[in-house]
Amino acid sequence: MFLRKRLVMAEKAVVIYSGGMDSFTILNKAKAEGYELYALTFDYGQKHRKEIAFATRVCEELEINHRIIDITAINQLLQSSSLTSDIEIPEGHYEAANMKSTVVPNRNMILLSLAIGYAVDIGASKVFYGAHSGDHAIYPDCRPDFVHAMNKVAKLANYEPVDIVTPYLNSDKTEILADGLKMGLDYGKSWTCYNGREKACGKCGSCVERLEAFAHNHATDPLAYENS
């Protein structure tokens, strides 16, 4: 008598994957947990479109389903952010008041809505995204109240419930990096700088926070920086 092996299908999950170090860590974490991943990268007209190229290379290397979605049309309505307009990218730490210029109104609500719709369409039960405590001060759509509210909406908006998963919601960049380093991740495959030049500027809020995380972990950032 022959026993047939029962094939267990991996659970599908969507990852909002910008190409930055937070989503890079989450992508690899979700993959290690055995999900069948579908990565979504959004082109919303950000100055640092270079992150999209990084996201593409990583997904090709890991053989992850990957779609780049052009939503640049939203900039007909959203021009108040320094990430998507002619406003200069501010320098300094995220806790500084001038960092508010990097807020893109409703960005994560827009991205999550599209990702949830995609999840329902392909039969995925989860959407991962990289909200973390380091962003709570400046970005309202990375705070726990927002995430919990969107999770409720995700379960009401469709017949199929979708969970929004934020593994690092209460962790800062230092803790995220520590987790990734334990996994042996190469952060030279991620891009963080808000200025999409050849080298990272080292001065924008995103770079400052990244460099701070590496320093706290007694590690060296593999990315090349200007004036270094």
Q: How far apart are CA 24 and CA 213, in angstroms?
A: 15
Over its length of 228 residues, how does the chain's per-residue pLDDT go in tens digits?
Answer: 444 444 457 899 999 999 999 999 999 999 999 999 999 999 887 767 889 999 999 999 999 999 999 988 877 766 555 445 454 555 555 555 555 555 566 788 889 999 999 999 999 999 999 888 766 566 787 889 999 999 999 999 999 999 999 999 999 999 999 999 999 999 999 999 988 789 999 998 889 999 999 999 999 999 999 986
Q: b/e per residue, 125-142, with b = 16+ CB within 10 A? A: bbbbbbbbbbbbebbebb
At residue 28, the 3 state secondary structure works out as helix
At residue 191, the 3 state secondary structure works out as coil
Per-residue confidence (pLDDT) for residue 2, from 0 to 100:
41
Per-residue confidence (pLDDT) for residue 44, from 0 to 100:
81
Per-residue confidence (pLDDT) for residue 73, from 0 to 100:
85
190 CA to centre of own chain:
11
Per-residue confidence (pLDDT) for residue 85, from 0 to 100:
46
Amino acid at 200: A
Point out which residues pair with 67 in neighbouring strands: 40
Cβ-based burial of 63 (10 A; exposed 0-12, middle 13-18, buried ≥19): exposed
pTM confidence score:
0.87
Nearest to 126 by CA among 1, 37, 21, 17: 37
At residue 22, the 3 state secondary structure works out as helix
Point out which residues pair with 70 in neighbouring strands: 43
Per-residue confidence (pLDDT) for residue 120, from 0 to 100:
97
Per-residue confidence (pLDDT) for residue 104, from 0 to 100:
61
